[in-house]
Amino acid sequence: MAAPRIIIAIDGYSSCGKSTLAKELAAQLGYNYIDSGAMYRAITLYFLRNNVALDNPIQILDAIASINLSFVFNEHRQASDIYLNDENAEPYIRDMIVAEKVSEVAAIREVRSFAVGQQKRMGRKKGIIMDGRDIGTAVFPDAELKLFMTADPAVRVMRRFKELYTSNPNITIEEVKHNLELRDYIDSTREESPLRQASDAILLDNSSLTREEQLSKVLEMVNTRIAAIKH
């Protein structure tokens, strides 16, 4: 009998290595990986391009009604690219201009209910790994495996800096640090499903774990959960 397919929810602060782990797990398990942050980033990109006023609910609802988000697997990246109304938005959503606004946009109730509704539908067939801030608490409260990732703030800043430096050599460590601190603050203090560790999530601090160590630790957890379902 084929192994049951489960839902894996990964939450945590910005730049804790959630997507690296999620991508590797998806490849090992043959699961679908969904980067929920990419959805908030693509919505932010649309809002910026169309000058949507964040304090105007009518403009926000109009904008949301004009947004269609989808994911298309990219063999080269071994992950899905996000499409914003038929345009591959992946090349733009990690820009600093989007990073600076995304937490504010993600705190808007109408934006969250649009994104969360779509995320819940994506989980219907199981066999999915989703990372974000509210996956274990709001999107998939019944996920079979929930992880809450943390890492030393200095380690996180350097990881994100190296990632961004390739496409933007003018970026400074200070700028990255400021953006991460601000996003963590907004993400964990907002009213609408703030970043929280779900009571049944496993805390994973990867400050001093190699990628391989982290992956094998989590694969063990996955196998334990699957074995528990079978019995």
Residue 137 lies near ligand DC (rule: CB under 6 A): no
Residue 23 lies near ligand DC (rule: CB under 6 A): no
Q: Which residue's entry shows tokens 């996956």?
A: 135
Residue 10 lies near ligand DC (rule: CB under 6 A): no
Structure tokens at 75: 């063999």
Residue 17 lies near ligand DC (rule: CB under 6 A): no
Instruction: Compute the least distance from the CB of residue 98 to ligand DC, in Å.
Output: 9
Contacts of 95 (CB under 8 A, 6+ apart): none
Q: How far is CA 221 from CA 32, 35, 128, 212, 218, in A?
A: 18, 21, 15, 14, 5
Residue 132 lies near ligand DC (rule: CB under 6 A): yes
Residue 140 lies near ligand DC (rule: CB under 6 A): no
Binding track over 57-96 against ligand DC, x by CB under 6 A: ----------------------------------------
| Residue among 120 and 223 whose Cβ is closer to ligand DC | 120
Residue 36 lies near ligand DC (rule: CB under 6 A): yes
Which range of residues in 53-61, 66-74, 132-140, 220-228 is near ligand DC by CB under 6 A?
A: 132-140
Count of other CB atoms within 10 angstroms of residue 100:
16
Contacts of 64 (CB under 8 A, 6+ apart): 43, 110, 111, 114
Cα-based angle 51, 52, 58 (whole degrees, multiple of 5): 150
Q: Which residue's entry shows tokens 């609408």?
A: 192
63, 106, 108, 201: which one contacts ligand DC (CB under 6 A)? 106
Length of the chain: 231
Residue 14 lies near ligand DC (rule: CB under 6 A): yes
Structure tokens at 202: 């496993």
Sign for the CA dihedral angle at 173, 13, 51, 85 comes to positive
d(CA 120, CA 34): 11
Instruction: Compute the least distance from the CB of residue 87 to ligand DC, in Å.
Output: 18
Which range of residues in 56-64, 131-139, 167-175, 217-225 is near ligand DC by CB under 6 A?
A: 131-139
Residue 123 lies near ligand DC (rule: CB under 6 A): no
Which range of residues in 34-42, 47-55, 71-79, 205-213 is near ligand DC by CB under 6 A?
A: 34-42
Binding site for ligand DC (CB under 6 A): 14, 36-37, 40-41, 102-103, 106, 132-135, 183, 187
